[in-house]
Amino acid sequence: MSIALIMGGTEEQAKRVEAVIGHQTVALGAESIATETSNFMRGLDPSVIPDAIILASTVPMPAAFALAGEVSKARPDVDIVMIAATEKEVMLEAMRSGIRDVAASIDDPQMLAGLRDRLNLRTASGTSAPAAAAAVKAPAPIDFTCRTMTVVSPKGGVGKTSISTNLAVALAQQSPMEVVLVDLDLQFGDVATVLDLKPSHTLEDAFSSSGRDNLLLKTYLTVHSAGFFVLCGAESPAANDSVTADQVTALIRQLQEQFRYVVIDTAAGIDDATLGALEATDDVVLVSTMDIACLRSVRKEVELLTELDLLPTSRHVVLNFADKQSGLRVKDVEAMLGAPVDFAIPRAKEVPVAANKGIPVLVDSRSGSYVKSIKALAKKIYDRARAAEGRQGHKRLEVA
């Protein structure tokens, strides 16, 4: 179990928060905050250093920012959230001070759910305080080369969203909190629905001018309990009508600075958003079903993307709903596509069931043909990422 501390809070608030997050929560009155904020960390018994700090609205804002800055410098693993007006300037300052989330009320369900999920993950991964306290003294620079994969198909309903969501889970099982899944099906994206997420921010915010700030962009992501971040689609199908391919490329590049893996789900066909994503993509996952119309369209899509010089060299052809009933054999499919099939995924009844429950197949089950195929795809991408890292050397240092 983790420990959360409400600075400037009351016992009633602590009880309410504890009931929602399911982790021990204690309150410290605002008067306990020393004028010199560093006294706060020094004065604490190391065996009870909290995993999370909620800065209540009774803490004056400059003191809250100073305290957060102090704590995050000494203990970057402490999860700090702040109760304040969610204005752009406040959010920006908060993120710069190392605050993970800002909410208008201490009872904000989204903020508490996010905190609960992050604390659950820490507890599950065994990094809960005080064990982590000694280990995490200063921010350890993480060096890595980001790998970006885009799941595309000329046709709808072929399994793109199922593959991208489960691929994100598989990668997060290897690299927790280092994966971001982007719903680039700008009009009718359903990633949030199939993952049962209720995002407080979406792609619409990410494409706004404030989204260009890396720190603010991170606050627009929603944490999934399987250990990855999601940039969810906008509520209205018209919200991102005027988004250009260049804007999409710029957004993906921003995410690449902060994550080890970027997984992108797209709409059927080739729209501007998909072209923008492919510009910044290392691995393209081409999804087809076993029918001639779809296979012909995939072939045409490959030809067009090659002409546009937008087809990444690292390609993975996935044949979904693969079964003998189609009357085609994999050999016929390969002849029609002019490319080998890398993964043939059979129809599996757990896939729609999982989508309807809002729990990805890979979270719920450890075996089965669908799980096996997605894990194999994730491993292939993982191996290529490691091989590319070996060739290029480490690209840069993590900043967030």
* Binding partner at 320 among Mg ion, ligand ATP, none, C-beta below 5 to 8 Å by kind: ligand ATP
Residues that bind ligand ATP (CB under 6 A): 153, 156-162, 185, 268, 320-321, 345, 347-348, 351-352, 355, 370
283 with 388: CB under 8 angstroms?
no
Which of 150, 161, 165, 240: binder of Mg ion (CB under 5 A)? 161
CB of 156 to ligand ATP, least distance (A): 3
Eight-state DSSP code of residue 359? -
Determine the interface stretch with Mg ion among 86-94, 155-163, 328-336, 377-385 (rule: CB under 5 A): 155-163
Buried b (16+ CB within 10 A) or exposed e, 280-315: bbbbbbbbbbbbeebbebbbebbeebeeeebbbebe
Hey, is 396 helix, strand or coil?
strand
- List the one residue out of 10, 6, 20 whose CA is nearest residue 108: 20
* Binding partner at 247 among Mg ion, ligand ATP, none, C-beta below 5 to 8 Å by kind: none
Rounded Cα distance, 324 and 340, in Å:
18
* Binding partner at 156 among ligand ATP, Mg ion, none, C-beta below 5 to 8 Å by kind: ligand ATP
Which positions from 324 through 343 interact with Mg ion, judged by CB under 5 A? none
292 CB contacts (<8 Å, ≥6 apart)? 328, 336
Determine the interface stretch with Mg ion among 123-131, 140-148, 156-164, 256-264 (rule: CB under 5 A): 156-164
* Binding partner at 268 among Mg ion, ligand ATP, none, C-beta below 5 to 8 Å by kind: ligand ATP
CB of 161 to Mg ion, least distance (A): 3
CB of 372 to Mg ion, least distance (A): 22
Distance of CA 314 to CAs 55, 219, 284, Å? 46, 31, 7
Buried b (16+ CB within 10 A) or exposed e, 317-339: bbbbbbeeeeebeeeebeebbee
Asked if 274 interacts with Mg ion (CB under 5 A), we say no
CB of 137 to Mg ion, least distance (A): 44
Residues that bind Mg ion (CB under 5 A): 160-161
